[in-house]
Structure 1
Amino acid sequence: MGVVVGLTLLLGIMLCAFALPAIHTGAHGITLGVAGPQDAVDKVRALDGFDVREYSSADEARTAIEQRKIYGALIVGDDNIEIMTASAASAQAAQVIGQAGPPLALRMKKGWTITDVRPFPADDPRGAGLSGGALPLALGGWIAAILIMQLIATTRNRLLAVFAFAVVGGLALTAIIQFGFGTLDGNYLLTSLAAMLGISATAMGVLGLRELLGGVGIGIAAVLLILLGNPLSGLSSAPEMLPSPWGQIGQLLPPGATGALLRGVGLFDGHGTTHALVVLICWLVVGLGFYFLGLRRAAAKAGSPAPAA
């Protein structure tokens, strides 16, 4: 009965983890630029669900969109409002911004036009290939780390296997998304490097937790990567579309950070990738630290010297 109750609770937690973020998806601080007269700026600031930032011109707002500082902008002219979006940054955020502009234009008795400043490539206009990559990445890194621990005995070969898997897997994953799905159109090698960092950080994080904490570490990794990392990654929407602070938490986990890095490198020439780079490097370094700490502790118990880091 204890096993049955425990499994039922786990099933309920999984259901909530995957369903609740989708149910509560909406505008929760989407960054929106505005340029125009002050009275128009004030009306835009009154819109709910947006973090409004003022710009002096349409060109300045467009540059901010291209550099991933904002998701879109409303450019208020004398007779027209230009609604700028970037579906490649987030198709759902672009849709929300596109729906917010026309009612405002009607209240101000103006016309409106919608401009997609940075769309996805034509082969995958909704970016499904990118949004669908969170779970395979989380599961792939988790499964790879477990298999490496089971099949490879020495520390040196385990680390070589992790980084070899990151290189080959990164090249393959990027090729599938870019050339198979047509989701990305940036530099293939640079985007592959981003995928390699994400895979190595994920696998090394699991490997470190497993070596340090044993079976408990595997469970913690599964919770962080699959139960939390996948639904909170924001790949299918945007971190700002999830209720606070869940969107921010998702960007601190490998699936969300890797997705943001791939989006920035593969679609926006590397803009907006600093946070994701820092997060993934931290996971990689901490995973390595946990791994060697676990080895040192095991060696101390056995009375033999630990392998040199």
Structure 2
Amino acid sequence: MSSHSTPSGTGRKLTMVVVGLAALITAMLCAFALPSLHSGPHHVPVGITGSPQAVEALRENADGPEWDVRHYETADAVEAAVKEGDISGGLAVTAQGVDLYTATAGGPSAASALNALGEVVAAQNRTRLAVHDLVPFTDDDPRGAGLTAALMPMIFGGIFPAVILGSVFPGHRGLRIRLSGAVLFSVVAGAAIAAVLQFGTHSIDGNYGLTALGVILGMTALSTTLLGLQALLGITGFALGSTLVMLLGNPLSGLATGPHWLPDGWAAIGQLLPPGASGSLLRANGFFDGAGAGFPALVLTVWAVFGCAFILVADRRGRRSRGSRSEIVATSYSSTAPASRPEVTSGPIRG
């Protein structure tokens, strides 16, 4: 009877694996393709300033879901807001012409769209357009290729510790060693990534210490989360965390284009996941002197806390399991131990 049930069970397992992999590939296609198909400016924050008539005309040009128009009193205020990362760019209409303020390092796609908007406004006013890129990429990496390339090493820097340390130090006894190793790896690898970006490829030019701390925090959040899920749920937890990071976190990070180039819902999800938060933190520290780093740093801290909490729960569960096994062994030993022999005393034998 078992010879007939085994092929049936194998067939069911094979069907489940095939269906699961097909669903995974479909989800991967949707995660990568759908945001790209609907990419474009979505509520890009742009500042405007000028005379009341000019401001009204600017609002009409920027009317729509593409822009989030904010009025400023002076051109200096617009310039300061761009440098602080509060807005992606700004337009100032004066008697001398139209001044466009952009931050290419904050989002090259949004900067290009703002350039097109500035040209339309200048043409309508029949005047010149002066473009001021206040936060550009570095001269050695004018397109930000190094910044974009940094995302995958940071993601795999969170995945590798869970895989390798889990193999070298398996089980409950190795849990604390895996956690210590993951944090130590994040410190060393994060500092190395920041050093390569700043001193090797010259892709960023911010404060190295601040940038390194941000990369370390991002990799720590990723590695502790995956380690915690792996310790708590086994291979299922690791697969769930890796899928979340790779299928959603990577395409929705917005590191190459800026988060405002993704549809609103996709962009919000991406910034709440470790890859998106890590990318935004790297951008803020590498180009904006830490301005706007608060929210992504908070997101990564929350993920790291959750990861450590998962590890703590798994550790306590493992201790209880070991305690239960010890009690079972002790009880089994006591029940099978030979009965004590009666005490034998020496003395004369009496007949």
8 Å Cα contact 1:92-1:238 kept in structure 2: yes
Matched, 1:180 2:200: yes
User: What is the RMSD computed on CA atoms of the aligned residues?
Assistant: 1.6
Q: Counterpart amino acid of 1:142?
A: I
C-alpha deviation, 1:299, in angstroms: 2.7
Name which of 93, 98, 102 aligns with 1:76: 93
Deviations 1:221-271 (A, max 9, x none): 112210000000010111111001110111111111111111111111110
Number of residue pairs aligned between Structure 1 and Structure 2: 305
Q: Counterpart amino acid of 2:152?
A: L
8 Å Cα contact 1:139-1:226 kept in structure 2: no
Name which of 109, 117, 124 aligns with 1:107: 124
> Where in structure 2 are the equivalents of 1:217-232 lying within 5 Å?
217-232=237-252
Greater Rg over alpha carbons, structure: 2
8 Å Cα contact 2:225-2:307 kept in structure 1: yes
Name which of 22, 28, 31 aligns with 1:17: 31
1:33 and 1:240 map into 2 onto residues whose CA distance is: 15
8 Å Cα contact 1:32-1:73 kept in structure 2: yes
8 Å Cα contact 1:138-1:229 kept in structure 2: no
Name which of 294, 299, 314 aligns with 1:294: 314
Unmatched segments (≥5 aa) in structure 1: none
> After alignment, is 15-24 or 227-236 more displaced?
15-24
Deviations 1:162-184 (A, max 9, x none): 11101110111112222222110
The residue aligned with 2:288 is: 268
Q: Secondary structure, in 3 states, of the residue corresponding to 1:75? A: strand
C-alpha deviation, 1:112, in angstroms: 1.1
> After alignment, is 174-183 or 64-73 more displaced?
174-183
CA pair 295-304 structure 1, distance change in 2 beyond 3 A:
farther
Matched, 1:163 2:180: no
Query: Normalized against structure 1, the TM-score is what?
Result: 0.94
CA pair 273-304 structure 1, distance change in 2 beyond 3 A:
farther
8 Å Cα contact 1:73-1:85 kept in structure 2: yes
The residue aligned with 1:87 is: 104
> Where in structure 2 are the equivalents of 1:1-309 lying within 5 Å?
2=15, 3-46=17-60, 47=62, 48=64, 49-153=66-170, 154-303=174-323
C-alpha deviation, 1:209, in angstroms: 1.1
C-alpha deviation, 1:79, in angstroms: 4.0
C-alpha deviation, 1:117, in angstroms: 0.7
Q: Secondary structure, in 3 states, of the residue corresponding to 2:105? A: coil
2:244 and 2:125 map into 1 onto residues whose CA distance is: 47
Unmatched segments (≥5 aa) in structure 2: 1-13, 326-351
Query: Normalized against structure 2, the TM-score is what?
Result: 0.83
8 Å Cα contact 1:232-1:247 kept in structure 2: yes
2:81 and 2:161 map into 1 onto residues whose CA distance is: 39
1:123 and 1:21 map into 2 onto residues whose CA distance is: 30
CA pair 148-78 structure 1, distance change in 2 beyond 3 A:
same
2:83 and 2:169 map into 1 onto residues whose CA distance is: 45
The residue aligned with 2:346 is: none
The sequence identity of aligned pairs, in percent, is: 41
